[in-house]
Structure 1
Amino acid sequence: MTWADAVPVALGIGGRVFSGPVVLVGAVLALGLAFFAGYRLGRRAGFVGDDAGALDRRLAEIGRAQSETAGRLATMAEIFGSRQADLARALTERLDGLGHRIGQSMTESTRATHENLRRLAERLAVIDRADRTIGELTGHVVALERIFSDKQARGAFGQGRMEAIVRDALPEGAYAFQATLSNGTRPDCVIRLPNGQPALAIDAKFPLEAWNRVRAAETAEAVKLAEAQFRRDVGKHVDDIRARYLLPGETQDTALMFVPSEALFADLHERFGDVVDRALSGRVVVVSPSLLMLSIQVVQSLLRDERMREQAHIVQAEVRRLIEDVGRLADRTAALERHFAQAVQDVDQIAISADKIARRGARIESLELGTAAPGVGEEPAPRRGARG
């Protein structure tokens, strides 16, 4: 590295930037001014006596040094100019390459951003649909919660499900809703059994208040108290069903207590088996929608059997008529068979007559006439009554 490479390319003074050649020229001028000022001060101080000649020679040397320095500064300025142009060209090329890379990066980033925004829009659309669905489900859940919280509405809900199951399985006249019994009570449904048997009573007002308290309880003590209250409520409801709907000679000695939820029915048997046992001991059977449907299908089979027994005499009469028709068919088949046999015999006689005619025709064709006595070569005459 030369001494010119060690010179700073630029210098900043007071917020302004100066290039290297300008800095060097300024330094040389400042050095010359310093020597001139020293010379003036020496003369004023009286140091120009005998050493005046030496001082002149020194100043001449300084002038030559300044000339050499000026030449060198010009060379350095030219070198710095070329290097500054190379630096500017390199900076321009690098800036162009950097701009191209930045443009490509921005293009790719824009494309990726658009793709991400499109996917985000699709996901937001899916989320929006899911949010609307959740809103609708929330409304349904709130309505269902309102139904279960209201005793009258809860009874209507259970009554509606029970009525739908009964209507779908039984014919008209085999059931009655809110029918009045002899003691003035009105069960939710009465199913009329065949053969004059007592009716089957169904109750659809299952107590859910204590059950909701059991589900809402958070502490062990609260759960224990809620379960005890639930057992008391269900026990009282079972006693009411037994006292109101089990009437000897009018209703069956067993009544059905309808639970409108399969999950509640399963949880009831799992956690409150003693409640179910108490209901069974009181001849009150707890049924879910599926069990009620199965019970209705059993009743439907009984009704079908009863209708078949009621129509048995009609079936027997029809069977007798069918047997008579079969006998007549057999007689007519035998007569037809005789007709076919006679027809076959007639066909055979016709075949014999045709054969005779054919032989006689053959003899006529061969001129075998007049030589034979009458009756010779002829078939005997058929018997009286025979065909031929």
Structure 2
Amino acid sequence: MERVVFTLNGTSIAAADLLLGAAGLALLLLVSIAWNLASRARMGRQEALASVERQREMFRAMEEISRQNAGLNGSVRSVAEVLGSRQADLARLVADRLDAVGTRVGAGLEASGKTAGDHLAKLNERLAVIDAAQARVAALTQEVVGLKDILANKQARGAFGQGRLEAIIRDGLPASAFEFQYTLSNNTRPDCVVRLPGDPRVMVIDAKFPLEAFTALRGAMSEEARKQASARVRADVSKHVRDIAERYFLAGETQDIAILFVPSESLYADLHEFFEDIIQKAHKSRIIIVSPSLLMMAVQVMQAIVRDARVREEAHVIQAEVRRLIEEVERLQTRVTKLDSHFKIAQEDVDQIITSAGKIARRGTRIDRMDFETPLPEISEGSFDKAAE
């Protein structure tokens, strides 16, 4: 009977069973070890094959890299050659461009220098003109200062007004129609008298005008000073109007109206704007206050009156000249009529010559075309005779 070693779950396990189990386990271990060794050997062979394959792939990659490196070296050499040629072309192109730019810059600088020279010459001319204008302005300033001095002096101001009056009168009226510094029967001497046709009386024109009051009025800085200057203007102008009325109105010797000449448009405008009462007083005293423009209009009216009077005086001479003119016109009409008849005769002759020339031209055309089927028009001798005439 076999020896029971131990019991497991009610089963008795003997020593022989243990030995058999140990032998089976050992066998199983040996099989497993052998399997592992075989697997490791197989894996080693696969790894060796893979390593050899990797080395082959590495060699092929290295060969490919070498081949690509050789191609790259060739490409680099080609690129270097191309870059060298391109660099030479670029250098040549840059040199050409620089030469062209230098030429253009030189031409531009030369043109700019010429233009600058022209501009400087024109600038010098303009500076010369400006210098001349400045000299004229300086001279005008001196003249204005002189005019101010003239206007500040009563006698010089009177001479200035007298000069403007004489210029206007002399330009508009004939010498027989006016006289300056004429002496009246009361031994007064107005600045100018004008003789109107058909009237022995003279018209008096006075060119003196009080200016100090207007100067004070324009320079007034306060209302009180302005009132005082206005009162002075009214007093001075009113006194001058009374003096003209008392001195220059003489029955049978002077006209019923007199003219007070103001040699400044601005003073005349100030009178009408601020001193209407003085204008009305002067009108009531039969004195007309005029500015240079109004005096020129009055002179033009006087000139028309003088012209009409001279036309009436020379009416018989004008009628005789008109009769002579009519005779000349009639003589001209007769001569024009004769000339017209000569033109009509000449026109008829020209028409006949044109007709003969047309017939000759048609005959020459038919001869040139050898067209003898239709009879040629006959040209009468009278046509040639007329043409010859």
What TM-score does the superposition give when structure 2 sets the normalisation length? 0.50
Q: For residue 134 of structure 1, report the CA deviation from its aligned partner.
A: 5.8
Q: 1:321 to 1:143 in 2, by over 3 A?
A: closer
Q: For residue 196 of structure 1, report the CA deviation from its aligned partner.
A: 2.8
Q: For residue 300 of structure 1, report the CA deviation from its aligned partner.
A: 0.5
- Whole-Å separation in 2 of the counterparts to 1:125 and 1:262: 36
Q: Which residue of 2 aligns with 1:248?
A: 251
2:146 to 140, 143, 146: 143
1:314 to 293, 317, 339: 317
Q: 1:328 to 1:246 in 2, by over 3 A?
A: same
Q: Does 1:232 align with 2:235?
A: yes
Higher deviation after alignment, 129-138 or 324-333: 324-333
- Secondary structure at 2:176 match in 1: coil
- Whole-Å separation in 1 of the counterparts to 2:128 and 2:173: 47
Q: Does 1:292 align with 2:295?
A: yes
Q: For residue 248 of structure 1, report the CA deviation from its aligned partner.
A: 2.1
2:189 to 186, 191, 211: 186
- Whole-Å separation in 2 of the counterparts to 1:324 and 1:148: 62
Q: Which residue of 2 aligns with 1:270?
A: 273
Q: Does 1:215 align with 2:225?
A: no
Q: Which residue of 2 aligns with 1:381?
A: none
Q: For residue 217 of structure 1, report the CA deviation from its aligned partner.
A: 1.5
- Secondary structure at 1:191 match in 2: strand
Q: 1:142 to 1:319 in 2, by over 3 A?
A: closer
- Whole-Å separation in 2 of the counterparts to 1:325 and 1:168: 36
- Secondary structure at 1:252 match in 2: strand
CA offsets 1:31-83 (integer angstroms, 9 cap, x no match): xxxxxxxxxxxxxxxxxxxxxxxxxxxxxxxxxxxxxxxxxxxxxxxxxxxxx
Q: 1:239 to 1:325 in 2, by over 3 A?
A: same
- Whole-Å separation in 1 of the counterparts to 2:263 and 2:145: 18
- Whole-Å separation in 1 of the counterparts to 2:244 and 2:302: 21
- Structure with the bigger percentage of helix: 2
Letter in 2 for 1:276: I
- Whole-Å separation in 2 of the counterparts to 1:251 and 1:327: 50
- Whole-Å separation in 2 of the counterparts to 1:127 and 1:324: 64
- Whole-Å separation in 1 of the counterparts to 2:218 and 2:165: 24
- Whole-Å separation in 1 of the counterparts to 2:236 and 2:190: 19
CA offsets 1:249-284 (integer angstroms, 9 cap, x no match): 211111111111111111111111111111111111
Q: 1:311 to 1:135 in 2, by over 3 A?
A: closer
Q: For residue 243 of structure 1, report the CA deviation from its aligned partner.
A: 1.1
Letter in 2 for 1:150: N
- Secondary structure at 1:256 match in 2: strand
Q: Does 1:157 align with 2:160?
A: yes
1:305 to 297, 304, 308: 308
Letter in 2 for 1:281: K
CA offsets 1:79-99 (integer angstroms, 9 cap, x no match): xxxxxxxxxxxxxxxxxxxxx
Q: Which residue of 1 aligns with 2:204?
A: 201
- Whole-Å separation in 1 of the counterparts to 2:129 and 2:306: 53
Letter in 1 for 2:215: N
Q: 1:146 to 1:332 in 2, by over 3 A?
A: closer
- Whole-Å separation in 2 of the counterparts to 1:293 and 1:202: 13
- Whole-Å separation in 2 of the counterparts to 1:267 and 1:208: 12
Letter in 1 for 2:146: A
Structure 1 residue runs without a partner (length 5+): 1-117, 341-388
Q: Which residue of 1 aligns with 2:176?
A: 173
Q: How does 1:1-388 map to 2 (within 5 A)?
A: 135-321=138-324
| CA RMSD after TM alignment | 3.6
Q: For residue 316 of structure 1, report the CA deviation from its aligned partner.
A: 2.2
Q: Which has the larger radius of gyration?
A: 2
Q: 1:319 to 1:129 in 2, by over 3 A?
A: closer
- Secondary structure at 1:173 match in 2: helix
Q: For residue 304 of structure 1, report the CA deviation from its aligned partner.
A: 0.6
Q: 1:320 to 1:212 in 2, by over 3 A?
A: same
Q: 1:131 to 1:315 in 2, by over 3 A?
A: closer
Q: 1:322 to 1:156 in 2, by over 3 A?
A: closer
- Whole-Å separation in 2 of the counterparts to 1:125 and 1:193: 53
* Percentage identity across paired residues of the two chains: 57
- Secondary structure at 2:254 match in 1: coil
- Whole-Å separation in 2 of the counterparts to 1:128 and 1:325: 62
CA offsets 1:10-34 (integer angstroms, 9 cap, x no match): xxxxxxxxxxxxxxxxxxxxxxxxx
- Whole-Å separation in 2 of the counterparts to 1:146 and 1:156: 12
What TM-score does the superposition give when structure 1 sets the normalisation length? 0.50
- Whole-Å separation in 2 of the counterparts to 1:288 and 1:275: 15
Q: For residue 216 of structure 1, report the CA deviation from its aligned partner.
A: 1.7
Structure 2 residue runs without a partner (length 5+): 1-119, 343-389
- Secondary structure at 2:174 match in 1: coil
